[in-house]
């Protein structure tokens, strides 16, 4: 079994995308390959087929490797709930709600578990592509590290160190990181990578030669800056704020926004612009307003109230098309209760009152993969602008601790027919009597063609535009992963990487 670890000089240097690229390259070359990130901090999470929670970055990497995502690919997931607290997910299930110091003191106890996971993976796969987190040169965290050099040492993995030239200072960041390593850590670094390069690589070559002389490590690639329709790596997303296409979708950028990957499928519609807003001044006149998920629904609701956005949302929703997902769905209701202090010390708060529902937070988190269909038939539009009444199929996953109760003027939006492979008949979401306000707990609700196509064609018709058939998101993702692999294969010394892993081809 071979392994390679991608570490970076800091957050958002492109580690996640490079791991995905290598997973796809090794798969294309005929190897069984698996991604692994021992600890991920992200509010973008995913539910596996067996109902476990993991980071979205490893999900994309699993798809790149041709695998179904599994929680062992990301055994520890940290979901911040405030500046100093986070929910700790271990092996896909909630382990604790801890302060930063509490987690720092406890994480060393997970080393045996992480090593066992890795050893089990070694028996199943030809290659494991590992990812670090943030910077490996955080010298104050070295003694308890379980995600960067601490993990590399635990499983004796060689390391490639990535720097982001687009930010500037890439040579200083690479050299500075190496300076802060111990001699043993330095010996693990077998190559450097310059990522997100724009321009003529010939101009860069003198710097590469000097870098190799300084750190005595070869540069194994200069990867150009690219944009593909793939999920952004954790924390690296640039939230667009401008209207760039005829259909204007505005998303409330909540302080604790989570699972904003729910919006990725909307971005593949060529006439759709998805922008994020944080103030009344940025609101404008969108064709669709989306309130996304939140890791702290009550606190984020109070922030919207404080800055005036709640009032503007309520005004817009009198006639405008509005959709809330998970925490955003809860905010649209009349009341949110938190009797067990799941999110905050606030036991009860009045919500926006746009949908006739009430939410109560329970102690146990719901984490399920679901298939569902709309309760009612919708008047759907075809690409010749003809119409057809039919029920809409959706799929996705639930991650929530709230349970919603319906009032008289709200009806369920969907009927869940499958949960984690078990046939069920459970109501989900809500829709008002006018049909312009909807909410759901189903993350990924736009990934399937049916609901996304219905919503966008409804807007197109209102704007006297031609209706269109929507693209299948999964097919596009596969093509983009192949393109990512092509870019990286062309600009990195893959033979050298095989050599570093001890694979002779």
Measure the CA–CA gap between 328 and 341, rounded to whole angstroms: 19
Say which of 23, 326, 404, 467 is annotated catalytic: 326
Is 400 a catalytic site residue? Answer: no
Residue 141 burial by Cβ neighbours in a 10 Å radius (0-12, 13-18, 19+): middle
Measure the CA–CA gap between 82 and 256, rounded to whole angstroms: 8
Q: Which of 63, 22, 65, 33 is nearest to 46 (CA)?
A: 63
How long, in residues, is the chain? 505
Q: How many CB atoms lie within 10 A of CB 200?
A: 8
Residues 6 or more apart whose Cβ sits within 8 Å of residue 299: 82, 255, 256, 343, 344
Measure the CA–CA gap between 236 and 313, rounded to whole angstroms: 28
Measure the CA–CA gap between 69 and 426, rounded to whole angstroms: 25
Measure the CA–CA gap between 348 and 335, rounded to whole angstroms: 7
Say which of 23, 256, 443, 467 is annotated catalytic: 443
Is 443 a catalytic site residue? Answer: yes
Bridge partners (DSSP) of residue 397 are: 369, 443
- Strand ranges across the sheet with 437-440: 272-277, 247-252, 288-291, 322-325, 437-440, 430-432, 410-411
| Structural contact between residues 428 and 402, judged by C-beta atoms closer than 8 angstroms | no
Residues annotated as catalytic (active site), given as ranges: 326, 443
């Amino acid at each position: 079994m071979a392994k390679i670890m991608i570490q970076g000089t800091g957050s958002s240097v492109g580690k996640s995308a490079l791991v995905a690229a290598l997973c796809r390259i090794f798969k294309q070359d005929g190897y069984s390959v698996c991604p692994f990130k021992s600890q991920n901090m992200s509010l973008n999470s995913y539910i596996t087929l067996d109902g476990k929670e993991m980071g979205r970055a490893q999900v994309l990497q699993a798809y790149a490797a041709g695998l179904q995502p599994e929680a062992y690919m990301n055994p520890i997931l940290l979901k911040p709930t405030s500046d100093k607290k986070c929910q700790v997910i271990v092996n896909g299930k909630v382990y604790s709600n801890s302060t930063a110091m509490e987690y720092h003191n406890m994480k060393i106890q997970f080393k045996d578990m992480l090593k066992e996971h890795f050893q089990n993976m070694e028996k199943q796969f030809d290659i494991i592509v590992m990812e670090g987190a943030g910077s490996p040169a955080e010298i104050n965290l070295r003694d308890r590290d379980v995600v960067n050099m601490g993990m590399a040492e635990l499983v004796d993995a060689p390391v490639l160190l990535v720097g982001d030239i687009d930010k500037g200072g890439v040579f200083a960041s690479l050299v500075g990181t190496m300076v802060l390593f111990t001699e043993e850590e330095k010996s693990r670094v077998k190559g450097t990578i310059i990522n997100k390069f724009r321009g003529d690589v010939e101009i860069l070559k003198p710097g590469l030669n000097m870098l190799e002389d300084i750190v005595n490590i070869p540069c194994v690639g200069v990867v150009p800056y690219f944009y593909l329709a793939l999920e952004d790596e954790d924390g690296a997303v640039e939230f667009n704020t401008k209207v760039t296409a005829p259909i204007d979708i505005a998303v409330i950028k909540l302080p604790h926004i989570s699972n904003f990957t729910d919006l990725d499928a909307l971005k593949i519609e060529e006439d759709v612009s998805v922008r994020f807003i944080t103030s009344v001044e940025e609101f404008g006149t969108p064709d669709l307003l989306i309130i996304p998920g939140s890791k702290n629904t009550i606190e984020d609701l109070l922030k919207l109230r404080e800055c005036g956005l709640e009032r503007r949302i309520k005004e817009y929703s009198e006639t405008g098309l509005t959709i809330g997902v998970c925490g955003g769905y809860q905010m649209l209701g009349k009341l949110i209760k938190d009797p067990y202090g799941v999110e905050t010390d606030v036991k009860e708060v009045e919500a926006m009152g746009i949908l006739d529902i009430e939410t109560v937070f329970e102690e146990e988190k719901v984490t399920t993969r679901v298939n569902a269909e709309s309760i009612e038939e919708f008047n759907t539009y075809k690409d010749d602008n003809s119409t057809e009444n039919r029920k809409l199929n959706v799929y996705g996953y639930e991650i929530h601790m709230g349970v919603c109760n319906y009032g008289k003027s709200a009806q369920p939006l969907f009927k869940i027919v499958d949960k984690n492979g078990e046939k069920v008949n459970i109501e989900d979401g809500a829709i008002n009597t006018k049909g312009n306000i909807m909410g759901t707990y189903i993350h990924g609700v736009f990934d399937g063609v049916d609901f996304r196509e219905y919503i966008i064609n409804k807007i197109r018709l209102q704007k006297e535009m031609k209706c269109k058939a929507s693209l299948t998101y999964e097919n596009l993702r596969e093509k983009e992963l192949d393109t990512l692999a092509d870019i990286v294969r062309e600009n990195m010394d893959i033979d050298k990487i095989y050599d570093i892993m001890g694979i002779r081809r």
